[in-house]
Amino acid sequence: MFIPEYTITNRILDNVAEIERVRSIAQLCVILPSWKARMRKEAKIEFFKVNLNLLGIRADLDEIKKYLDGMEDNPANLVKNIKASIETAQKLSQSYEIDEETISLLYQSIIGSEEMKIPQMYRKRATDSGTNPEEILSDMTELIDWLNSMDCRETHPLIRAAIVKGRIAEIKPFQNYNDLMSNLLAHQMLENSGYNLDGYCHLEISYAQDPIGYKRAIRSPSLEEDYTIWIDFYTEAMARKASSKREEILLSAKDTKIAQAKGRAKLSGRQEKIITYLHDYGMIKNKDFAKLFPKISEDTVLRDLKDLIEREMIVKKGRTKASRYELR
């Protein structure tokens, strides 16, 4: 039976405490809805970038951004699948339990298949590291059993996520996508427990910012014997990420008060979408209207733009159809 061994060190306690502080700030700070949406989208884009990089794929961030904005219909298949897998993980996060069906659904969403079942999805060939193929099903069953045990339920969510990530890295149950699968499982667990910082960042991928430290920690003396070094590294990476996000949250909250005083909070939904688009892409042209507002007439969009110009939030450059609009 799998029962992770580890020691709660002072550093781990400090890391958890820092994340708890930022979590409280994220829950309490008042931020304009459009700014919240932008921060959440940036977090999602970062999730794409990190996981594509882990798979050895150079991320086209503009393509990802346009796809998430509904302005790109045909991105690479893996980009579509990662989006589907995040959505699947978030749906599954509504239930605490992680079972074989959970893992099967996540894996299916990654590979874009509805046929892959346990144990078919597990690795069939031996690798330089990882569990022998014939033992993978047993090891994964034991991990699932622990995840639904009282011991796991009484474990802090951040430490729980670290253990799942570490155990998946140790078993390497899949031929491909082990990092992505463990990130999705950790995301599901943190989302379920309210440790997603209101969607402003994905703490579960923070470890990837220090690849050398990650390899050193994940290859420390057998994780099955002691998870302390790994949990220390993983929670510290999450705490650093949370700390950096704290400044952004506080600044956005401060700017929200200023924006409310200047009337920014009274913008319509379409106008907020235009401002967000300009933050993301720098300018908007007449030809972009149909993609941004497929069911809205050009004249209506132009009236929104005229109002934003009068509010001195944007400027118009050029004439007629060649016009472009930029932030002031």
Q: Which residues in the chain are classed under CATH 1.10.10.10?
A: 267-327
pLDDT of residue 63: 82
pLDDT of residue 221: 64
pLDDT of residue 79: 85
Q: How far is CA 220 from CA 5, 94, 166, 168, in A?
A: 14, 34, 11, 15
Element (H, E) at 168: helix 157-171
Question: What is the C-alpha to C-alpha distance for residues 200 and 65, in angstroms, rounded to an integer?
Answer: 16
Residue 118 DSSP one-character state:
T
Half-sphere exposure of 171 (CA within 13 A, CB side): 28
- pLDDT grade for 147, boundaries at 50, 70 and 90: very high
Compute the average pLDDT of residues 18-43: 91
pLDDT of residue 289: 87
Query: Among 158, 201, 160, which residue's Cα sits nearest to residue 47?
Result: 201
At residue 167, φ and ψ (nearest 5 deg) are: -70, -40
Compute the average pLDDT of residues 16-27: 96
Question: What is the C-alpha to C-alpha distance for residues 168 and 181, in angstroms, rounded to an integer?
Answer: 8
Residues paired with 122 in a beta bridge: 174
Contact 162, 19 (CB under 8 A): no
Q: Which residues in the chain are classed under CATH 1.10.3290.10?
A: 10-255
Element (H, E) at 243: helix 228-261
> Token pair 């720098």 is at which residue?
282
- pLDDT grade for 257, boundaries at 50, 70 and 90: confident
Is the preceding omega at residue 119 within 30 degrees of 0, hence cis? yes
Fold of 267-327: Arc Repressor Mutant, subunit A (1.10.10)
pTM of the model: 0.84
Q: What is the DSSP string of 258-304?
A: HHHHTTGGG--HHHHHHHHHHHHHS-EEGGGHHHH-TTS-HHHHHHH
CB-CB neighbours of 209 under 10 Å: 13
CATH of domain 10-255: 1.10.3290.10
Average pLDDT score over the chain? 87
Show the tokens assigned to 184.
């999705």
pLDDT tens, residue by residue, 92-128: 888 767 888 888 888 888 888 766 666 678 999 998 8
Contact 78, 52 (CB under 8 A): yes
> Token pair 């969009």 is at which residue?
301
> Residue 136 above 80 pLDDT?
yes
Report H helices in 69-155: 77-92, 100-111, 133-147, 150-153
Residues paired with 325 in a beta bridge: 284, 316
Q: At 174, is the secondary structure helix, strand, or coil?
A: strand
Show the tokens assigned to 236.
């510290």
> Residue 283 above 90 pLDDT?
no
